[in-house]
Structure 1
Amino acid sequence: MPTIEELKKAKAEQDSRPPHESVYSVAKRAESESRDQEMPARMTYVEYQGIGLSEAIALIIELGDRAVPNFALSPGEMQAYAKAVSWLLAIPHPEIDDPMKGLIVTGATGTGKTLLVSLLWALSEKMGVHRPFIDRDSGQRRMKPLLWNCSMHALDHVEGYSNNGSYQAIGYNVLHIGDLGTEPDTFLRYGTKGSLSDLICQRSDMGYKDYPTVITSNLPWEEMRQRYGDRAYSRLRGDLIEVRLLGKDHRTER
């Protein structure tokens, strides 16, 4: 039930609203929006509520042991994993200003970017991590699993555009772009030129709070700017939390 203050605020706001929208309906909408803002950034199954960063790191290392022979993390990699897990669980971290943002994992070839994103997905599934997403039917935010298609490569988005003339995955709750920068600079659909800069910008315009993106890329930031342009570069910088993996090519060390 709207409060007196909400009704007064709604009355003042109504002058700029369509005439058919009542003061009460404006107040109810404001009440709903207020509830959405107060909704916790993450929600987990009961058995994992209250878990700390060290316990979550132990879990993701356990998942890594199962996925990769001789899985081990250097001190630098441990810091990167701690930041990534902090993003996943919305644990306060000095380099994360908003855990509702998406994630970009950067680093040279073979540093384990795809593995990290895959392990984050597995940890999210194991812990039952949820966050608010927009429900397209009701227009309201609902708590839904924080999961994504880890196998969705940049080339898959190119193929989808070339075959259908649009980016079929743009409306996913979480959009995944693996190996951004390995696709052709431009591609064609019946003579119409496309670029993943269009996907980046269109997705950003939908708002990261409702439509976050998870990306892996070998490209340094300045190369991203040169390749995708200032507009897409600005959106990548503004919409994503960066986790950078340093070190040697793990594939050549096996």
Structure 2
Amino acid sequence: MKTLPKYHPTTPHILIEGGVEFHLGKMKGDTINYDFSKMLIYLNAKGKLLFGKEFKIHEEDHQIIYQLCLYFIKDEVNCPKYNIDPTKGILLSGPVGCGKTTLMKLMRHLVPHRRPYEIIPTRNIVFGFNNLGYSIIEQYGNSHYFCFDDLGVEPEGKHFGKDCNVLGEILLSRHEIFTKCPLEHRTRAMTHITTNLNAEEIEERYGNRVRSRLREMVNVIGFDKNTKDKRK
């Protein structure tokens, strides 16, 4: 995991990167009033540090980034306007190359005073299952804070000749833990997901039970299906 920015516990809206201070908003009493334009400046600078000087935030992505910012700063006023529930995770969907994984790697640096999530490629999880078996489902179907990257590109699991829909089983296990958590502790069992699949494709791949339970676990934020591939 990349090093999170430096900050002082009493001023978590002031982040320090390479000796430069980024003020993401202003304190008013015990509340931080974040400024989206200043958050964009920070995210663009942090993105260049993480991914190279060619990184840039595209104007057409501002609406998606704005919603993600609202979610991560837990903006109680504006989250409901976008039907975002900060007590759930994020399912970030969109076509190949639109920048889903990059954004999820970047956004966790915006709020370093909050518990960070670990980003795990779904392919790696299935490869682990094929080698080690059902202990992998226990490892990821627990209350740790994960972002499962590229849901849907992973192969079917197979261990000692037995097929297993590994991510489907993990998501069902995590749903059970998530719904049993008291509301104030749900971040402990929260799940984020990036995927190229739409809702119907998720149901086709993982079944109606998984699709139904995902509705209880995540907020869906989606890129337009015509978003260009930024890797080209």
Partner of 2:164: 194
TM-score by length of 1: 0.68
1:154 corresponds to which residue? Answer: 122
Residue 52 (structure 1) aligns with: 34
Considering only CA atoms, is the larger Rg found in Structure 1 or Structure 2? Answer: 1
- Secondary structure of 2:189 counterpart: coil
Aligned mates of 2:162, 2:71 — CA distance in 1: 38
Which of 95, 100, 125 is the equivalent residue of 1:108? 95
For 1:164 and 1:60, locate their aligned partners in 2 and report how far apart those are by CA, in whole Å.
Answer: 39
Equivalent residues, number: 189
Deviation at 1:164, TM superposition (A): 3.3
For residue 172 of structure 1, report the CA deviation from its aligned partner: 4.6
Deviations 1:180-217 (A, max 9, x none): 00012x32222332112111111111116241101111
Residues 68-127 of structure 1, C-alpha deviations (whole Å, 9 max, x = no match)? 4343334431010011111111113212442010111111111001100000122233xx
Within 1, Cα distance between the matches of 2:106 and 2:176?
28
Secondary structure of the structure 2 residue equivalent to 1:237 = helix
Once residues 83 and 216 of structure 1 are traced to their aligned partners in structure 2, the CA distance between those partners, rounded to angstroms, is 15
Q: Secondary structure at the match of 2:228?
A: coil
Report 1:79-94 matches (<5 A).
79-91=63-75, 92-93=78-79, 94=81
CA distance in 1, matches of 2:102, 2:146: 17
Aligned to 1:223: 201
Structure 1: gaps of 5 or more residues: 1-43, 130-144
Q: What's the % identity of the aligned pairs?
A: 24
Instruction: Indicate whether 1:206 and 2:174 are aligned.
Output: no
Give per-residue Cα distances to partners, 1:27-78, cap 9 Å, x unaligned: xxxxxxxxxxxxxxxxx93212614141333322221233343433344310
More helix by share: 1
Give the Cα–Cα distance (whole angstroms) in 2 for the partners of residues 149 and 202 of structure 1: 18
Corresponding residue of 1:164: 133
Instruction: Report the Cα distance in structure 2 between the residues aligned to 1:57 and 1:212, rounded to whole angstroms.
Output: 25
SS in 2 for 1:124: coil
Q: Deviations over 1:205-238 (max 9, x none)?
A: 1116241101111112211111111000112222
- Check whether the contact 1:63–1:123 (CA below 8 A) recurs between aligned residues: no
- Deviating 4+ runs (over 4 angstroms): none
Deviation at 1:251, TM superposition (A): 0.8
What are the within-5 Å matches in structure 2 for residues 23-102 of structure 1? 45-47=9-11, 48=13, 50-54=32-36, 55-66=38-49, 67-91=51-75, 92-93=78-79, 94-102=81-89
SS in 1 for 2:220: strand
Instruction: Confirm or deny: 8 A CA contact 1:158 1:187 kept in the other structure.
Output: yes
1:227-242 to 2 correspondences below 5 Å: 227-242=205-220
Whether the 8 Å CA contact 1:112–1:245 is kept in 2: the answer is: no
Please give the root-mean-square deviation of Cα atoms over the aligned residues, in Å: 2.0
TM-score, reference length from structure 2: 0.74
In structure 2, relative to structure 1, the CA distance for the partners of 1:241 and 1:45 (3 Å cut) is: farther
Aligned counterparts of 2:35 and 2:164: Cα–Cα separation in 1: 41
Aligned equivalent of 1:28 = none
Letter in 2 for 1:57: L
Specify every segment of 5 or more residues in structure 2 that has no aligned partner in the other structure, as ranges: 1-7, 14-26, 180-185
| Alpha-carbon distance in 1 for matches of 2:33, 2:128 | 39
Matches within 5 A, 1:115-130: 115-125=102-112, 128-129=113-114
Do the aligned partners of 2:117 and 2:147 also contact (CA within 8 Å) in 1?
A: yes
